[in-house]
């Protein structure tokens, strides 16, 4: 990141702090945001670690929580983003886009959410994120937590579409959570609230690339990225996309592969036939 851009970020922080002082410091900072587009709605409550909604055009909610944790090389545990820049932490851009800004222990986080209602059965939220150091070089692990209750149900199935995509499924509705590839460590899937507990405990945890296929049960997912940020020189950045599809067509079941015991029975049945054929010969 250039020195000019870094100065711009700090100017934004200072202006926000000044605005907070001028308001007397008594007015609580906004902690929620809501996006709308083409009949779809997306919202998060920052004070509740991203507790929110992703509602379709019929008002059905498919999401329980989406939020972010980080850990630097000199920290012993993960910490959730919570320290919004005073007066400039949430910037709404039209009705379907919002930019969040946080300052956390020498790091500046910026996340831009954009909701796109593609049709009455398909919508996506794209979240572009970046992390900048305001001090010396730091190793950073960044975590994206998702808990979707597809169709309002806490009994979802899950599958790994590819190393960057985890799918939540309820009948003919699916939600794909897609992580950008650069710096991606991997994923982990579990049952609520096992993974949320890991992120909020007092020890450092990393994803294990396990948990799929899953369910049906109350599914949750984490993606983890790792990188190094250097003040004025190097930035971590990436994207998380959440795609809701109300017309999901499950893949056809694969061929049934007999278990070892079944193979043994089949082979034992073929043995007398082979013996009779030998006698006839």
Where does 73-183 show beta strands of DSSP type E?
79-80, 90-93, 97-104, 107-119, 122-133, 138-148, 156-162, 165-170, 173-179
Using DSSP, state whether 165 is helix, strand or coil: strand
- What average pLDDT does this structure show over 154-172? 98
Provide the pLDDT for residue 119. Answer: 98
Q: Residue 214, SS3?
A: strand
Distances in Å between the Cα of 18 and the Cα atoms of 11, 49, 100, 148 are 10, 26, 18, 38
Residue 38 φ then ψ, to 5°: 55, 40
Give the C-alpha distances (Å, rounded to integers) separating 123 from 31, 55, 74, 139.
Answer: 24, 10, 39, 34
- pLDDT above 90 coverage of the chain, percent: 74
pLDDT at 251: 77
DSSP annotation of 99 reads E
Q: Which residues of 100-121 are buried (b: 16+ CB within 10 A; e: fewer)?
A: bbbbeeebbbbbbbbbbbeeee
Q: Which two tokens stand for residue 191?
A: 């049952």
- Mean pLDDT score across all residues of the chain: 86
**Residue 200 and residue 229: Cα distance in Å, rounded?**
24
Domain ranges of the chain: 3-280
What is the model's pLDDT at position 30?
83
Three-state DSSP class for residue 166: strand
CATH architecture of 3-280: Distorted Sandwich (2.70)
CB 187 within 8 A of CB 221: yes
Mean pLDDT, residues 220-234: 93
Report the distance separating Cα 128 and Cα 46, nearest Å. Answer: 17
Confidence label for 21 from pLDDT (cuts 50, 70 and 90)? very low
Q: What is the value of pTM for the model shown?
A: 0.82
Token readout for 172 is 């003919």
pLDDT of 260 > 70? The answer is no
What is the average per-residue pLDDT within 111-133?
Answer: 98
């Amino acid at each position: 990141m250039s020195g000019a851009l870094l100065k711009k970020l700090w100017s934004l922080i200072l202006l926000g702090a000044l605005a907070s002082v001028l308001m007397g410091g008594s007015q609580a900072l906004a902690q929620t945001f809501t996006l709308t587009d083409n009949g779809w709605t997306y919202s998060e409550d920052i004070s509740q670690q991203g507790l929110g909604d992703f509602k379709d055009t019929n008002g059905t909610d498919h999401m329980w929580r989406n939020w972010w944790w980080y850990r630097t090389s000199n920290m012993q545990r993960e910490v959730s983003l919570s320290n919004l820049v005073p007066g400039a932490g949430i910037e709404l851009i039209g009705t379907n886009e919002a930019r969040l800004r946080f300052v956390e222990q020498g790091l500046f986080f910026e996340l831009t959410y954009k909701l796109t209602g593609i049709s009455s059965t398909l919508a996506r939220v794209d979240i572009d994120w970046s992390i900048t150091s305001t001090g010396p070089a730091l190793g950073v692990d960044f975590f994206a937590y998702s808990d979707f209750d597809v169709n309002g149900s806490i009994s979802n199935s899950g599958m790994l579409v590819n190393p960057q995509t985890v799918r939540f499924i309820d009948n003919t509705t699916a939600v794909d959570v897609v992580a950008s590839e650069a710096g991606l460590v991997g994923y982990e899937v579990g049952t609520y609230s096992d993974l949320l507990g890991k992120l909020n405990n007092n020890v450092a945890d990393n994803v294990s690339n396990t948990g799929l296929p899953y369910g049906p049960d109350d599914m949750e997912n984490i993606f983890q990225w790792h990188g190094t940020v250097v003040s004025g020189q190097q930035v971590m950045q990436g994207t998380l996309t959440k795609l809701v599809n109300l017309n999901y067509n499950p893949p056809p079941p694969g061929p049934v592969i007999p278990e070892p015991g079944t193979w043994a029975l089949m082979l034992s049945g073929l043995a007398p036939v082979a013996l009779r054929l030998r006698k006839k010969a």
